Amino acid sequence: MKTLIIEDERSLAREIKLFLEKAFYLCDTAYNAVEAKMLMIDNEYDFILLDLGLPDKDGLELLNETKKMCPGASYIILTARGDLEDRIKGLDLGADDYLPKPFSLLELQSRMQAISRRKSGNNDSVMQLGDFSIDLNKRSVCFEEKEIELSRKEFDLLSYMILHKNRPLTRLQLSEHIWGNFSDDDYDSNFIDVHIKNIRKKMSAHAPVDWLQTLRGIGYKIKI
């Protein structure tokens, strides 16, 4: 997947690039609108991550102009402005998603993956996890054709951890994904434990779930 990061904060652009490259995205970075346009002329991108507060041009204007240049690309708006109007305008102009700063890189990747899945149809939505098969589109977990009932939040948690498999995930990162920016720190983190306990209970009735590891004092990890 080829990704263009348009972000004038160099250190943030660098971190996003570093993170996405580990998840096997190919990344280019542009620090302003002019650079971004040059890169878009020469390359075809699957994803364009667009900061609205660029030094030489308003991000929304750039989006409007470049939507025609890269019709196949999926746009995700990143912004510290966080105006609701910007969000509506951005989505109207054809952006696929909108992430207010500060955002978690895990969340960014999760949104990118959701967009890919939406665009590619049902093709790659089924994953194997130990003896279980998980369909991200149908939101179902099956053990040997038998469906295991998970609550909405439990499924969200499980799929988020599968996406970020082999990475330590803190309770905070998990609760932020489930409850958004207003998640309530320690209080919400405790509920993550409750959810994980339920997932373990429901799934281990069918097969061992030793792939779901607890990291003492930190959080959880799915190891495959």
Partner 1 sequence: MKLLSKLTLFITLSKLLIVVLFVLLLPSLVGYVSFQYSNYYLQQQKQKVLSEIKHNGIDYYLQGDSAYASYTMLKEEYISILPAENNRVRDTIETSKRVVGEDTLTYRILTHELTGTHKNYILEIGKTTSTIGEYNNLLQRFTLYVLIGLIALSIVVDLIYTNILIRPLTKIVKTKLLNRKFPFKEPLSPIKTSTTDFQILDLSLIDLMEKIHEAFDKEREFTSNASHELMTPISILQSNVENLMMEEDISDEMQDKISAMMRTLNRLKKIVNSLLYISRIENDQFVKSDTVNVHELITEMMEELSDRLETKSIQFTNAVSKNVKIEHVNHDLFFQMLYNLVNNAIRYNKESGSINISDKHLPDNTYQLMIKDTGIGIKEEELATIFDRFKKSGKEKGEGFGLGLSIVKSITSFHGFTIEVSSEYGKGTVFTITVPAYLPV
Residues at the site binding partner 1, with contacts judged by CB under 8 A: 9, 11-12, 15-16, 18-19, 22, 80-85, 101-106, 151, 153, 167-168, 170, 172-173, 176, 181-187, 191, 194-195, 215, 217-219
Of 36 and 178, nearer to partner 1 (C-beta) is 178
Q: Output the smallest distance, CB 64 to partner 1, in A.
A: 22
Q: Output the smallest distance, CB 163 to partner 1, in A.
A: 14
Residue ranges in 43-104 assigned as alpha helix (H): 59-69, 84-92
Say if residues 21 and 28 touch (Cβ distance below 8 Å): no
Of 28 and 86, nearer to partner 1 (C-beta) is 86
Which residue in 5, 14, 17, 95 sits closest to 54, CA to CA?
5
Q: Output the smallest distance, CB 71 to partner 1, in A.
A: 29
Of 46 and 51, nearer to partner 1 (C-beta) is 51
Of 179 and 211, nearer to partner 1 (C-beta) is 179
Half-sphere exposure of 120 (CA within 13 A, CB side): 15
Residue ranges in 132-184 assigned as alpha helix (H): 152-163, 171-179
Question: What does DSSP say about strands 212-215 and 219-222: parallel, antiparallel, or unpaired?
Answer: antiparallel
Q: Output the smallest distance, CB 84 to partner 1, in A.
A: 6
Q: Output the smallest distance, CB 186 to partner 1, in A.
A: 6
Beta strands in 14-125 (DSSP E): 26-30, 47-51, 74-79, 97-100
Which residue in 78, 102, 105, 108 sits closest to 90, CA to CA?
78
Of 41 and 218, nearer to partner 1 (C-beta) is 218
